[in-house]
Amino acid sequence: MTQPAVDGAKDWSAIDRAVYVHSSTNLQQHLVDGPMVLTRGEGVRVFDGDGKAYIEAMSGLWCAGLGFSEKRLADAAYKQMTTLPYYHNFQGKTADVTIELAERLVALAPKPLTKIMFASSGSEANDTAIKLVWYYNNARGKPAKKKIISREQAYHGVTIAAGSLTRLKAIYDGFDLPIDRIRHVGCPHHYKLAQDGESEEQFATRLADELDAKIREEGPDTVAAFIAEPIMGAGGVIVPPATYFEKIQRVLKTHDVLLICDEVITGFGRIGTMFGAEKFGIAPDIMTLGKQMTSAYAPMSAILMRESIFESIAAESGKRGTFGHGYTYSGHPVSAAVALETLRIYEERDILGHVNRITPTFQSLLESYSNHPLVGEVRGEGLLAAVQLVQSKSPKKFFDTTAGLAKYLVARGHEHGVILRVLQNDAVAFAPPLISTEDDLKQIADLFGRALDDTLKVARERGLVN
């Protein structure tokens, strides 16, 4: 999507194609198409260089919960920049604002998570969680207990270790992933993967049995942790089937396997509770956070752990002389100040209550497309949802993803003025800002509907559907 010069002097599209390597992009095709250049944001909308408005139905990357023009967050960042713009947390040092944030997050977190570390992204947070688990098992004299089990269609980041936990072809294909010690079990998508007549509870039992069998096959003394998103995000907004986490946790306890709860997307009100763990009865040993912690106004993530895990790694660091992990920007004071102000706004404006008030409207608007010829399933919780495109509802048949129907739909959405995202298996994702109004949600649904009808027309022209 090419655009003219933004400021009358520079052609940002040409410069972009000349020098900039984009993430999660077909780089060869991008040289032809060029970028969508955005120049400002206001509320739940962003604007391109021509002044065209787009309603951001994905909150950027699931993260700009307070929209794109919250002045209080800018003021908090500026104030901290003029007070103490940077300090690290190595060798016992830190900034007061970082300690304040740590205290606040531990108070909010599910019990018994009592200790916290900071990083700059979800990938870093999940990478750190892996290292903590390995260090912890070394500390308690179990050096062989190191394997981490993730799930098919999981997304936990793109670093070498976190990217190994991620089980999406584009993330591992061509990068020599996964690394050793990483294993995967089945995805909990009932609509796509359940057997004929299998209830959600029966499906959950089968998945728990699969996990139990996998741990026994690998050897319980070699399996250290299981990592899961409460609702799978980039893998398709997969809501767990009824009783899934109850049964999974029973298996983990049987084999002394830790549970890492990846709340990078689901944390801070996205699905109607402060954390997804509350929604699904998850008692994590380690929990990772990010994205809406700062409403994406500054990069920051966090890793929380149980007291028993901290006690073991603290004792081990005493033996070794130091705990040799950390990042230059861990607990960055500007990010910490923005995070604190974000949490204050969530509380003062009752953002959680607002999400729960507008959720029925949001989910019902999307559910209204269930009878559309291209829609097989509408799924989600809170302000997180996906619409599953199918070639046929009965018998159930998914499109060959090379047909590119979901990509076409999202491109048509851009033309109509709404930003959506393609997920695994031709699902289209929605994660509007937490501050969205019912009118905003109605506009998102209406513009999506136009793009969906455009896609149906093309699918019929290509003979993909009747």
At 219-263, the pLDDT tens digits run: 999 999 999 999 999 999 999 999 999 999 999 999 999 999 999
Q: What beta strand segments (E) does 75-119 contain?
A: 113-119
Type of residue at 356: N
Torsional class of 53: left (φ above 0), alpha (ψ -120 to 50), beta (otherwise): beta
pLDDT at 157 (0 to 100)? 97
* % of the chain at pLDDT higher than 70: 98
Rounded mean pLDDT, 333-355: 98
Lowest mean pLDDT of 9-13, 38-42, 462-466, name the range: 9-13
For residue 108, what are its two tokens?
């909010």
Task: Please provide the distance, in angstroms rounded to a whole number, between the alpha carbons at the two ends of the chain.
Answer: 31
Q: Is pLDDT above 80 for 14?
A: yes
**Is residue 238 within 8 Å of residue 231, measured between CB atoms?**
yes
Q: State yes or no: pLDDT of 2 exceeds 70.
A: no
- Of 466, 432, 324, the C-alpha closest to 60 is 432
Give the pLDDT confidence score for residue 111 in this predicted structure. Answer: 87
User: Range with the lowest mean pLDDT among 1-5, 80-84, 191-195?
Assistant: 1-5
What local confidence, expressed as pLDDT, does residue 55 receive? 98
Q: Give the pLDDT score at 388.
A: 98
What's domain 36-69+350-461's architecture? Alpha-Beta Complex (3.90)
Per-residue confidence at 466, pLDDT binned at 50, 70, 90?
confident
Reported as type and span, the H/E element at residue 223 is strand 223-228
Please say whether the beta carbons of 249 and 207 come within 8 A. Answer: no
Query: 214-229: buried (b, 16+ CB within 10 Å) or exposed (e) per residue?
Result: bbeeeeeeebbbbbbb
The string of pLDDT tens digits covering residues 353-374 is 999 999 999 999 999 999 999 9
pLDDT interval class at 160 (50, 70, 90): very high
Cα distances (angstroms) measured from residue 2 to each of 52, 331, 417: 13, 38, 16
Pick the CATH number of 73-348 from 3.40.640.10, 3.30.565.10, 3.40.50.2300, 3.40.50.720: 3.40.640.10
In the chain, what are the domain boundaries? 36-69+350-461, 73-348
**The pLDDT of residue 1:** 46
Type of residue numbered 98: T
